[in-house]
Chain A
């Protein structure tokens, strides 16, 4: 069931995730973008430990399924905090860090409560279904938050190219997963294709962030508002 493609994309994804951290360290941006780097480390650890569990128990095993979904929940929470840190960067001139933190905690608590309300009917599945439901709900919260952040970047005329690149890469990643899900439902006959694409999408974000750290200096500036407004 697991072919060369799965292992190659998995390895490429892990190497690229490690590459993001190395590039950030090399460019002296590790501490400035600490939550993003910590999230990348978490993703890397999650990938490596999944590989270990998969080879110890097998793909069809309950151990792998439980480990996968629990680690997925953890990495999604990490992604959520990385996204919150991007909000803090974009809004840092407004001096609203404490409000961003408050909103992040409120939103996480709200998502957890919402997930609990969905799964509380099936109490016997609470330990498994809750983490999957929460990961799924956090994915949608992250999707909406990324688009709102892009709106804020345009509205506040944010010019830091690195920051814009980080946010746009996240937006593209969320959109790719959403588009893949939509295509899977529109063309269920091509399930093999839609099932294998997310592993490729996984490589996109660390690749884009590696490029950002390596090629775009902290001082680089761009005017995104000009990209959004079509000239007449």
Chain B
């Protein structure tokens, strides 16, 4: 029983250690993916990072229509 608990503890420690390391690295990173890159071949951009290749549309809240920004009602 104690051996099984040791295995579970070891697993948890490795998982927590790896995820903490990953969080630290990715937080300070440029948003690119870090992985083992096995099998060779050029790394494509991730499918969700503007995969279609078209221009990124403006966010709805950032003066998208181009008109003047109205004053906020509570001022």
Chain A residues packing against B (C-beta within 8 Å): 1-2, 6, 9-10, 13-14, 42-44, 46-47, 50-51, 54, 59-60, 62, 64-66, 68-69, 71-72, 75-76, 78-79, 96, 99, 102-103, 106-107, 110-111, 114, 122, 125, 128-129, 132, 135-137, 139-145, 148, 173-174, 177-178, 181-182, 184-185, 188, 195, 198-199, 201-202
Chain A nearest CB, measured from B20 CB (Å): 9
- In the bound complex, residues from chain B placing their C-beta under 8 Å from that of A198 are 37, 43
Does B38 contact A62, Cβ atoms closer than 8 Å? no
Are the C-beta atoms of A75 and B21 separated by less than 8 Å? no
Chain B contributes a number of interface residues (CB within 8 A of A) equal to 39
Enumerate the 3 nearest inter-chain pairs by beta-carbon distance, A residue then B residue, closest first.
A46-B39, A75-B38, A13-B40
A65 in contact with B38 (CB, 8 Å):
no
B4 within 8 A of A: yes
The answer to whether A75 and B39 touch across the interface, beta carbons within 8 angstroms, is yes
Contact between chains at A114 and B15 (CB < 8 Å): yes
Give B28-56 interface residues, CB cut-off 8 Å to A.
28-30, 32-48, 51, 53
CB distance from B48 to the nearest CB of A (A): 5
A47 CB, nearest partner CB in chain B, Å = 4
- B46 with A99: CB separation less than 8 A: no
16 A-B pairs in the complex with CB atoms less than 8 angstroms apart: A9-B40, A47-B41, A50-B39, A72-B35, A78-B38, A96-B3, A99-B6, A106-B7, A122-B48, A129-B46, A129-B48, A143-B21, A144-B18, A181-B29, A185-B28, A199-B42
Q: Is the CB of B7 within 8 A of A141?
A: no
- Select B7's contact among A54, A102, A129, beta carbons within 8 Å: A102
Query: Does more than half of chain A's interface fall in helix, strand or loop, or is it mixed?
Result: helix
Q: Is the CB of A202 within 8 A of B8?
A: no
Are A137 and B48 in contact, with the CB atoms below 8 A? no
Asked if A202 meets B15 with Cβ closer than 8 Å, knowing A60-B53, A65-B46, A102-B7, the reply is no
CA distance A198 to B38 in the complex (A): 10
Q: Which residues of B come within 8 Å of A, CB atoms?
A: 3-4, 6-8, 10-12, 14-15, 17-19, 21-22, 25-26, 28-30, 32-48, 51, 53
Set A72, A137, A177: member contacting B39, Cβ < 8 A: A72
Give chain A nearest CB distance to B11 CB in angstroms.
4
Q: Give the chain B neighbours of A114 by CB distance below 8 A.
A: 15, 19
Q: Which of A14, A72, A79, A143 contacts B18 (CB 8 A)?
A: A143
Contact status B36-A62, CB under 8 Å: no
Partner of A102, one of B4, B22, B38: B4
Residue contact B35 to A136, C-beta cutoff 8 Å: yes
Does A141 contact B15, Cβ atoms closer than 8 Å? yes
Chain A residues near B11 (CB-CB < 8 A) = 103, 106-107, 110
A10-B42, A114-B15 known; 6 other A-B pairs, CB under 8 Å?
A10-B40, A50-B40, A102-B7, A106-B7, A185-B28, A188-B30
